[in-house]
Chains A and B, each alone.
Chain A
Amino acid sequence: MPMAASEIEALIRAAIPDAEVSIRDLKGDGDHYAAKVASASFAGMSRVRQHQAVYAALGARMGGELHALQLETLVPSGDHQ
């Protein structure tokens, strides 16, 4: 069952309030997405921990109704000062 990109974004923002989220619908079918998530809270976390934080925000949907989500996480530049 497809999920709207706006719903994915809202879930991530609810859990990671400072997150900058950009989502692309890879196939235009509402079922295969790529998400790029930038948050200062990722600083000092391994990639696995960063992705786990996003997956935690999506909860049980990930791997269920949301099958295909390419994920890229990063710490926004400029937050290192």
Chain B
Amino acid sequence: MSDANQRIDAIVKGDDIVLFMKGTVLFPQCGFSSRAVAILDHLGAKYETVDVLQDPEIRNGIKGYSDWPTIPQLYVRGEFVGGSDIMMEMFESGELQQLVGEKAE
């Protein structure tokens, strides 16, 4: 595993819910990242974020790690869930609430 993959692996397994995004929760730098944050906040989820704009190694590495070309990317308990479109679909169907709500007590 490359250094970037090892770092990403540690990040996604280090917290229950991790969002890779452009910018921060307070200042998202992209509409898609902003939408992802809004969804998680609406669900009252407790999550960590990684600002890929501050970390070129992660920004490039995450695309290969997930086999997913765009940011944001959501991980729950080490599993890749999807980008903002899938998050929105799962939010609307109630699946996302179930997923982020069933974390370890």
Spell out A's residues near B (CB within 8 Å).
47-48, 51-52, 55, 58, 62-63, 68-72
Contact = CB atoms under 8 A, between A and B. Distances in A.
Contacts of B68: 48, 51-52, 55
Interface of B: 31-32, 63, 67-70, 80-83, 85-86, 89-90
26 contacts: A47-B82, A47-B86, A47-B89, A48-B68, A48-B80, A48-B81, A48-B82, A48-B86, A51-B68, A51-B85, A51-B86, A52-B67, A55-B68, A55-B69, A58-B69, A62-B69, A62-B70, A63-B63, A63-B69, A63-B70, A68-B31, A68-B32, A69-B70, A70-B85, A71-B83, A71-B85
A48 B89 CA distance: 12
Contacts, number: 33
Nearest to A63: B69
Contacts of A63: 63, 69-70
A67 to B, nearest CB: 8
Nearest to A50: B86
A51 B89 CA distance: 12
Nearest to B70: A63
A41 B27 CA distance: 39
Given A58-B69, A69-B70, 18 more contacts: A47-B82, A47-B86, A48-B68, A48-B80, A48-B86, A51-B68, A51-B83, A51-B85, A52-B67, A52-B68, A55-B68, A55-B69, A62-B70, A63-B70, A70-B85, A71-B85, A72-B85, A72-B89
A35 to B, nearest CB: 10
